């Protein structure tokens, strides 16, 4: 299972080393590390259209898909000559020299590091301050089915069309839909995020109950969240033709608009997408020729006015005070541990658990210093007040920052 030895493959005249080529990455699908490299080479044109020329956060699954990955922003010092770099300045004030790939050899190199999906920023290496892509991430809350996702996507398309922009849909590779919008690189991150938020608010306005722009998860209900914050400066999204770390080796796959209603995400995997790509080509082939203006959505933002700000706490901490009756169950290192804690809580609170709606159970992936951790909360809004349990000691209390040394001002 761990794989042995190494292989060398020639990609466009470049020698690329693949360590442990027979290591099984997807046990259920029987796919090895070399199989994953060969997949990306088969769809290289499309994968590079989405991730090529952009700084990448390297999301490395060095212990397999069942273990949490770690996020590496800084490009390895021993990178080959065909891998470039660009230094990104983050909103936190920190900076990182990140990898930039431009060819199929770069794709193979990335996979060899243990990367399964590709996570590029929304900027080109040549201009790191002006995004050339607005990303619409349609994220289903629990209880939302695929038909609702598709209905929300077509509302997004209508709003984009009316404001002079073209949307290019793809499956997220999980349960969601991504709609990519190419822009002329003339606006900064703040403007792009504002435009994306205005788009989300307008979609919610046109399809109340179906779609929501509410940032706080417990307030969304069973609806499709139009995640505008994926356009913040530090965010990355799995790009087109990325393989996702699911047992069936599912792929984030570009689609034609008329395919959305008749196809399903599970159809698109490492085993099926190369043949589709060879037969149909890339549905996003024209995306780079469709760069549009942000002015229409920015005018919409002015018309809608400032977004409602969440209430703040009254204890002087400045933290947001939720309007919902929330209790926290656990903080864990992995999602299976989170689900186990939730199961134990349900066993101990059977009467309360029966009253919960699907969207009342909140398992949030939280970004730690270099990897995700998980927070489990329960929204008791559908439980009569007199029957609501109070906050109890956490069933697990993982500290993602334990042992980390923080820099202090030595002046």
Predicted confidence (pLDDT) per residue in 343-381, tens digit: 999 999 989 899 988 888 888 887 766 677 888 898 998
For residue 261, give the DSSP letter. T
Q: Is the pLDDT of residue 2 over 60?
A: no
3-state secondary structure of 352: helix
Q: Coil, helix or strand for 156?
A: helix
Helix segments in 98-235, DSSP class H: 104-112, 146-162, 189-206
Q: Name which of 119-123, 250-254, 359-363 the model is least confident about.
A: 359-363
* Alpha-carbon torsion (171, 172, 174, 177), positive or negative: negative
Query: Is residue 339 in some structural domain?
Result: yes
Residue 381 lies in a domain: yes
In this predicted model, which residue has the larger pLDDT, 331 or 404? 331
- pLDDT, position 74: 93
More confident residue, 120 or 387: 120
Length of the chain in terms of residues written = 411
| Cβ–Cβ under 8 Å, residues 378 and 361 | yes
Q: Is the residue at 338 inside a domain?
A: yes
Structure tokens at 76: 């390895």
Model confidence over 19-62: pLDDT tens digits?
999 999 999 999 999 999 999 999 999 999 999 999 999 999 98
Query: Which among 386, 276, 373 has a CA at the least distance from the CA of 333?
Result: 373
Pick the range with the lowest mean pLDDT from 20-24, 199-203, 264-268, 365-369: 365-369
Burial of 2 (0-12, 13-18, 19+ CB in 10 A): exposed
**pTM of structure:** 0.85
The whole-angstrom separation of Cα 25 and Cα 36 is 8
Report the chain's mean pLDDT, rounded to a whole number: 90
- Say how many domains are in the chain: 1
Query: How far is 65 from 242, CA to CA, in rounded Å?
Result: 14
pLDDT score for 404: 59
Closest CA to 90 of 105, 104, 103, 74: 74
Question: For 260-271, what is the mean pLDDT?
Answer: 96
pLDDT band at 5 (very low <50, low <70, confident <90, very high): confident
- Position 146 confidence tier, pLDDT thresholds 50, 70, 90: very high
**Position 227 pLDDT exceeds 80:** yes
Kindly state whether residue 367 falls inside one of the protein's structural domains.
Answer: yes
Which pLDDT score, from 0 to 100, does residue 70 have? Answer: 87
pLDDT on residue 132: 98
Res 409: pLDDT? 45
Distance, CA of 223 to CA of 19 (rounded, Å): 44
- Asked if residue 330 belongs to a domain, the reply is yes
Sign of CA dihedral 135, 140, 144, 145: positive
Q: What is the pLDDT of residue 4?
A: 61
Domain presence at residue 213: no
Long-range Cβ contacts of 304-308 (<8 Å, 24+ apart):
304/198, 304/201, 304/202, 307/197, 307/201, 307/213
Q: Averaged over 300-326, what is the pLDDT? A: 72
Does residue 120 register a pLDDT over 50? yes
Asked if residue 62 belongs to a domain, the reply is no
Torsion of CA 85, 90, 94, 95, to 10 degrees: 10
The crossing angle, in degrees rounded to 10, of helices 44-51 and 104-112 is 80
Cβ-Cβ contacts under 8 Å for 173 (sequence gap 6 or more):
117, 238, 242, 243, 244, 246, 250, 251, 252, 253, 265, 268
| Proportion of the chain above pLDDT 90, given as a percent | 70
Residue 408 has pLDDT above 70, yes or no: no
Q: CA 411 → CA 404, 406, 408, distances in Å?
A: 21, 15, 9
pLDDT at site 311? 52
Most confident option among 246-250, 389-393, 407-411 = 246-250
Does residue 407 register a pLDDT over 60? no
Residue-wise burial string across 287-315, b where 16 or more C-beta atoms lie within 10 A, e elsewhere: beeebbebebbbebbeeeeeeeeeeeeee
Distances (CA, A) of 225 to 137, 260, 261: 8, 18, 19
Contacts of 117 by beta carbon, 8 Å cutoff, 6+ apart: 59, 173, 238, 239, 242, 243, 244, 245, 252
Domain that holds residue 364: 326-387
Whole-number pLDDT of residue 219: 81
DSSP β-bridge partners for residue 272: none
User: In which band, very low, low, confident or very high, does the pLDDT at 312 lie, cut at 50, 70 and 90?
Assistant: low
The pLDDT value recorded for residue 216 is: 81
pLDDT of 333? 85
Is there a domain that residue 383 lies in? yes
pLDDT band of residue 64 (cuts 50, 70, 90) is confident
Lowest mean pLDDT among 160-174, 278-292, 373-387: 373-387
Sign of CA dihedral 126, 131, 134, 135: positive
> What Rg value do the Cα atoms of the chain yield, rounded?
22
| pLDDT category of residue 315 using cuts at 50, 70 and 90 | very low
pLDDT tens per residue, range 281-311: 999 999 999 999 999 999 999 999 998 765 5
Q: Would you tell me the crossing angle of helices 44-51 and 33-42 to the nearest 10 degrees?
A: 80
Distance between CA 116 and CA 96 in Å, rounded?
21
* Among 185, 149, 179, CA closest to 167: 179
């Amino acid at each position: 299972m761990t794989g042995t030895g190494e292989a060398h493959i020639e990609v466009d005249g470049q020698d690329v080393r693949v360590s442990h080529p027979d290591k099984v990455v997807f046990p259920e699908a029987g796919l090895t590390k070399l199989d994953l490299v060969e997949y990306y080479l088969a769809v290289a044109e499309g994968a590079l259209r989405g991730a090529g020329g952009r700084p990448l956060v390297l999301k490395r699954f060095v212990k397999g898909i069942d273990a949490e990955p770690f996020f590496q922003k800084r490009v390895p010092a021993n990178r080959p000559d065909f891998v470039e770099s660009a230094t990104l300045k983050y909103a936190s004030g920190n900076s990182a020299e990140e990898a930039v790939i431009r060819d199929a050899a770069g794709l193979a190199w990335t996979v060899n590091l243990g990367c399964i999906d590709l996570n590029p920023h929304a900027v080109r290496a040549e201009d790191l301050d002006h995004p050339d892509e607005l990303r619409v991430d349609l994220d289903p809350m629990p209880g939302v089915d695929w038909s609702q996702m598709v209905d929300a996507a077509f509302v997004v398309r209508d709003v984009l069309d009316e404001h002079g922009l073209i949307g290019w849909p793809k499956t997220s590779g999980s349960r969601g839909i991504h709609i990519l919008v190419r822009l002329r690189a003339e606006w900064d991150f703040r403007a792009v995020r504002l435009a994306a938020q205005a788009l989300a608010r307008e979609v919610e306005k046109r399809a109340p109950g179906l779609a929501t722009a509410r940032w706080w998860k417990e307030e969304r209900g069973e609806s499709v969240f139009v995640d505008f914050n994926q356009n913040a400066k530090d965010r990355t999204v799995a790009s087109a033709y990325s393989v996702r770390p699911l047992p069936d080796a599912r792929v984030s796959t570009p689609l034609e608009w008329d395919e959305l209603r008749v196809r399903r995400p599970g159809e698109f995997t490492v085993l099926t997408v190369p043949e589709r790509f060879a037969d149909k080509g890339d549905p996003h082939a024209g995306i780079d020729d469709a760069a549009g203006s942000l002015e229409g959505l920015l005018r919409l933002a002015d018309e809608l006015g400032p977004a409602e700000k969440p209430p703040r706490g009254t204890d002087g901490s400045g933290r947001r005070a939720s309007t919902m009756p929330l209790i926290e169950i656990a903080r864990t290192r992995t999602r299976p541990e989170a689900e186990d804690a939730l199961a134990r809580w349900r066993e101990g609170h059977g009467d309360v658990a029966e009253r919960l709606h699907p969207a009342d159970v909140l398992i949030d992936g939280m970004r730690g210093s270099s990897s995700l951790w998980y927070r489990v909360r329960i929204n008791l809004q559908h439980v009569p007040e007199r029957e609501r349990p109070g906050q109890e000691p956490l069933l697990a209390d993982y500290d993602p920052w334990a042992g980390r040394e923080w820099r202090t001002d030595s002046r």
